[in-house]
Amino acid sequence: MGSEVGNGDNQVSDSLDVRTLSFVISIIGLVLCFCMLYVFATRKTYGGFMHWTAASILLGGAMGLVSYRNILPDFASILVANLLIVAGIGLVARGLELFTGKKPNNWLFISISAVAVVVFPCFTFYAPSVNARIISLSAILAVLFGYSAYISHKDIPKLVKDRNSFLLASFSILALWNLLRMIMTATSDPIPDLMTASIFHGITLTVFLCGHITVITGLIIVNFQKVELDLSTAIDEVKTLRGIIPICTSCKKIKDDKGAWGLVEEYVRAHSHAEFSHGMCPECMKKFYPEYVDD
């Protein structure tokens, strides 16, 4: 029995291998990037969409570097990878600001960038600590995901006249999970190497993978929500003239739904948003004002 339990634990550990999961996230991130590029090239998109596309590229590249931890130099697999992750999630939040027309929170992004540039080199080269890096990264991501959830909750419903609960839930879960990871790492024993970290960190990468997919899907959905709103607004603003319209063969007056006869411009004005400006065609000028034709 003990042997069977032990084998089961090993299988779970293998399935949550950090290196394998990081590589899978990298590939899926690049696939999602191509999907975003296709939508951008073939469909109407709004401000911020390219930021989300760039975020997929950065996150895919970052996780690819993480998967080569202990193979590539620490500068690339740790420092550059962590900075790319922060930049990618930051682009998602900045894209949401552009999409909703929200005033840029420059101080937030400047502060986070400054912290990342100082903290990650420090805990990579000067005072190496896997725990400190995980805590720092988790704290930064919790703030960025929390800010994105705030925009999704407050500003997106105002813009698209509807809620995107899918996107809000994705950001909220990722923010809360990073807070949990920060607390769990702070209260755990020192981690010698991320590649041999506990199953919890493998689960974290699984959550990140699912979150990456749901966030990108939610962003594409919210873009289409804006397209649908613009289309609906355009349809509401344009009243079309339909059916057979009775018109007098002599005076050209039009008969309305109530049986009353009126001028063409009155009928069109009542059934559309068109306005008329009056002029005179050359034939009428010759007929009624021949003295002005030469002039």
Q: Residue 208: give its domain's CATH number.
A: 1.20.1070
Residues 278, 216: one domain?
no
Residue the block writes with tokens 């049986």: 259
> How does pLDDT run along the chain (295 residues), one tens digit per residue?
333 334 443 444 445 688 888 888 899 988 988 999 999 999 999 999 999 999 999 999 999 999 998 899 999 999 999 999 999 999 999 999 999 999 999 999 999 999 999 999 999 999 999 999 999 999 999 999 999 999 999 999 998 888 889 999 999 999 999 999 999 999 988 988 888 877 888 888 889 889 999 999 999 999 999 999 888 877 765 555 566 778 888 787 888 777 888 887 777 777 666 777 777 788 887 777 777 766 5
Residues 97, 119: one domain?
yes
R_g (Cα) of the chain, nearest Å: 30
Domain count, the chain: 2
Is residue 254 classed as helix, strand or coil in its secondary structure? strand
Q: Residue 2: its pLDDT value, please?
A: 38
Q: Quote the pTM value.
A: 0.77
Residues 17, 148: one domain?
yes
Residues 124, 23: one domain?
yes
Q: Domain boundary at 191, 217, 237, which? A: 237
Helix/strand/coil percent split, the chain, to 5: 75, 0, 25
Residues 91, 32: one domain?
yes
Could you tell me the residue range of the domain that residue 262 belongs to? 240-295
Q: How far is CA 263 from CA 123, 125, 171, 247, 268, in A?
A: 81, 84, 58, 10, 9
Q: Domain boundary at 188, 205, 237, which? A: 237
Q: Residue 111: its pLDDT value, please?
A: 95
Which amino acid, 211? G
- The angle subtended at Cα 294 by Cα 293 and Cα 295, nearest 5°, is 90
Residues 78, 177: one domain?
yes
Nearest to 164 by CA among 225, 209, 94: 225
Residues 152, 137: one domain?
yes
Residues 210, 246: one domain?
no
Q: How far apart are CA 214 and CA 256, in angstroms?
A: 53
Q: Residue 245: its pLDDT value, please?
A: 77
> Which residues, listed in sequence order, are joined to residue 254 by a DSSP beta bridge?
247, 262
Residue pair 21/205 in contact by the 8 Å Cβ criterion = yes
* Helix (H), strand (E) counts: the chain: 12, 2
Q: Domain boundary at 237, 266, 286, which? A: 237
Q: Residue 1: its pLDDT value, please?
A: 34
Residues 119, 170: one domain?
yes
Residues 230, 249: one domain?
no
Nearest to 229 by CA among 163, 148, 130, 290: 163
Count other Cβ atoms within 10 Å, centred on residue 289.
Answer: 11
Residues 208, 263: one domain?
no
Residue the block writes with tokens 């990722």: 174
Residue pair 59/48 in contact by the 8 Å Cβ criterion = no
Residue the block writes with tokens 């970290």: 197
Residues 152, 232: one domain?
yes
Q: Residue 57: its pLDDT value, please?
A: 92
Measured in whole angstroms, how far is the alpha carbon of residue 287 from the centre of its chain?
63
